[in-house]
Chains A and B, each alone.
Chain A
Amino acid sequence: MSFINYSSREINCKIVYYGPGLCGKTTNLQYIYNKTNPETKGKLISLSTETDRTLFFDFLPLSLGEIRGFKTRFHLYTVPGQVFYDASRKLILKGVDGVVFVADSQVERMEANIESLDNLRINLKEQGYDLDKIPFVMQYNKRDLPNAVPVEELRKVLNPRNVTERQAVAPTGVGVFDTLKDVAKLVLTELKKGGQ
């Protein structure tokens, strides 16, 4: 749910990075944080365990510039990927405007990907959203690993609807900004539709 402020001429949108544990959601945000100008970003907040696993969420506010005199701000969130943190994961989806699913390309993580994608659909539904209708981008991460499944196979299993997809290597930034741009564009296009 975006927040439009006519008085300060700002528009705020919420994007959530979803996916199985250790798929690289936090790494996506860390790369974006490291590569953006200080004036366009806020603090990166990570609520994580001592072993750096996300406990509740990571949060990064980002300004993307102006559209027709309105400052566009995107709030990027990640969810905790581990299965048993489901209660927390649901909470992060409240008020979401767009979702990025970060899939782990490694063959041994295929089941975890499928389980997480199902979980996303169910949790969105609980909040009154339909995964087939909200802005949604699929990212195939860890493309550099030798045990990565071919993209065609990932697509068949994870992206039968053929939504916008990107290949990524999050630690080096491959595909990270492309994914962000894709989802931001979809969110803005949706806002445009909603205003008509």
Chain B
Amino acid sequence: MASQLVMYEEEFHRINAVCDRLTKDANAKVVFLVDKNGQLISAAGQTHNIDTTSLASLTAGNVAAMGGLAKLIGENEFPNQFHEGAKDSLYMTLVGGRVVLVVIFDNRTSLGLVRLRIKKASDELEKIFAALTARASVPGAGSPFAEISDADIDNLFSE
């Protein structure tokens, strides 16, 4: 079974900083970082009008479906996807086989610039996630839930 994703304060700030910078450097509207299982990790830019939870889940569904399609034709994965809309477009990149970087942009920038900036950001993110994985595998780095009692769990459901 794949190990769970654990995010720590330090890495979380570094990831948010990369997403913020990518939004500015690529002149994008929004940048999202989504776990392949559909959990939203980070969001930067004009996120206020977007249902980020739904976006994360649909991104993961889309990446999973495209991954399935890739395997059918003998590819391992389609690491990059581009969807062009009338006004806004969307670019998805797999980072380290584990998370998906999603960039939404309009005609104030270009696909070329977005791709260029994504490349740099995804290299940085890959290093951060490698560090996170190493950190989570250190013995004793268990979940905070080791401390909870059955009563805590019961309390959650007692209305």
Which residues of B are in contact with A by a Cβ distance under 8 Å? 1-9, 12-13, 35-39, 41, 51, 53-54, 57-58, 61, 64-65, 67-68, 142-148, 150, 152-157
Contact B61 A57 (CB under 8 A): yes
Which residues of A are in contact with B by a Cβ distance under 8 Å? 1-8, 11-12, 14, 42-43, 45, 47, 56-57, 59, 61, 64-68, 70, 72, 75, 87-88, 90-92, 94-95, 128-129, 181, 184-185, 188-189, 191-192, 194-196
How far is the CB of A58 from the nearest CB of chain B, in Å?
A: 10
Known: A12-B39, A45-B58, A56-B65. A7 touches B145 (CB 8 A): no
Contact A14 B53 (CB under 8 A): no
Known: A61-B53, A94-B64. A4 touches B4 (CB 8 A): yes
For the residues of A in contact with B, the DSSP-based class is: mixed
Contacts of B7 in A (CB 8 A): 3-7
How far is the CB of B66 from the nearest CB of chain A, in Å?
A: 10
Could you give 25 example pairs across A and B, Cβ below 8 Å?
A1-B5, A3-B7, A4-B145, A5-B7, A5-B41, A7-B7, A7-B8, A43-B54, A47-B61, A59-B38, A59-B57, A67-B152, A68-B147, A68-B148, A75-B57, A92-B61, A95-B2, A95-B37, A184-B156, A185-B153, A188-B153, A194-B145, A195-B144, A195-B145, A195-B146
How far is the CB of A41 from the nearest CB of chain B, in Å?
A: 10
Known: A95-B2, A194-B145. A3 touches B58 (CB 8 A): no
How far is the CB of B7 from the nearest CB of chain A, in Å?
A: 4
A87 to B65 CA separation, bound complex (whole angstroms): 9
> For A12, A42, A87, which residue has the most chain B Cβ atoms within 10 angstroms?
A12
Contacts of B8 in A (CB 8 A): 6-7
Contact A192 B148 (CB under 8 A): yes
Contact A42 B53 (CB under 8 A): yes
Known: A95-B2, A188-B145, A196-B142. A68 touches B152 (CB 8 A): yes
Contacts of A70 in B (CB 8 A): 144-145
A192 to B154 CA separation, bound complex (whole angstroms): 13
Contact A192 B146 (CB under 8 A): yes
A71 to B13 CA separation, bound complex (whole angstroms): 19
Contact A45 B54 (CB under 8 A): yes
Contact A188 B2 (CB under 8 A): no
- Taking a contact as CB atoms closer than 8 A, the residue among B2, B13, B36 that contacts A7 in the complex is B13
- Taking a contact as CB atoms closer than 8 A, the residue among A43, A56, A66, A67 that contacts B145 in the complex is A67
Nearest-neighbor residue (CB-CB) of B37 within chain A: A95
Contacts of A66 in B (CB 8 A): 156
Contact A75 B5 (CB under 8 A): no
Known: A12-B39, A191-B143, A192-B145. A42 touches B51 (CB 8 A): yes
- Taking a contact as CB atoms closer than 8 A, the residue among A4, A59, A61, A90 that contacts B144 in the complex is A4
Nearest-neighbor residue (CB-CB) of A188 within chain B: B153
Contact A1 B61 (CB under 8 A): no
A95 to B1 CA separation, bound complex (whole angstroms): 9
A65 to B146 CA separation, bound complex (whole angstroms): 18
